[in-house]
Amino acid sequence: MQLETQRLILRPFELTDDQAIYEYAKDPDIGPIAGWPVHTSVAHSRELIQNYLMAKAIFAVNLKTAPNHAIGSVGLELVENGGGQPFMGANDAEIGYWIGVPYWGQGLIPEAAEKILAYGFETLKLDNIWCGYYDDNQQSKRAQEKLGFQPVLTIDEMYNPLLDDTRQEHFTKMTKAQWQARHQ
C-alpha cells in the first residue's frame, strides 16, 4: 500500500532503502533524541529495515520528486502486534516518525503524520493513537501539538532498552473522536 500527500509518497520499506536510510540515520542529531541508536553502517540500516521498518503500517517517507529515495519513516506500532506501551488499549497504536536533518523545518513530518492518522483511524479503525517524546526533543513536541495530540502522561524515569538509558518521556494521545472533530 502506498499513501500520498501534497509533497510526499509514503510507501512500504524495501531492503534497497538501506543506503538512503543510513545516509540520514547515521547523523547523531536524529536517532538518540527519538530513542534509537545512530546507525553504524549500511548493513546496520538494512538489518533494521528488515527487522522493524518492513512491518505493517510503517512507511518510508519520500519526496514526490524522488519517490525511490527514503528520507525518513513514519508509521504506527500496533498494540495488537505487540507494539506501543503497556498502558495503551488493545485497539490503539503509537505513531513514530523521523526525517533526515536536511528536511527539518519544512513541515514534512506533520504532513506525513496527518496521512498516517487518517490511515489509522479510517482504514485500521483504531480507537486511539498515541505519541511520545523525550523531554529534550522539542521538534517532536511541536509536531505533536500541530497535529492536535493532547498531553496525557509523563513518566519521569522511562527506561529505553535500545539506548540502555532512562529519561523523562511525555505521552500524548488523539482519540478517534478528536481526530474526526478536527476534520469535519
Task: Supply the pLDDT for residue 156.
Answer: 94
CATH 3.40.630.30 matches 3-182: yes
Residue ranges of domains in the chain = 3-182
Encode pLDDT of 34-84 as tens digits. 888 899 999 999 999 999 999 989 999 999 999 899 999 999 999 887 888
**Mean pLDDT, residues 7-14:** 97
pLDDT at position 178: 96
Give pLDDT tens digits for 120-174: 999 999 999 999 999 888 888 988 998 999 999 999 998 888 888 899 999 999 9
- Please tell me the predicted confidence (pLDDT) of residue 34: 84
pLDDT at 36 (0 to 100): 86
pTM over 0.85: yes
Q: Which of 49, 72, 57 is nearest to 129 (CA)?
A: 57
Confidence class for position 107, pLDDT limits 50, 70, 90: very high
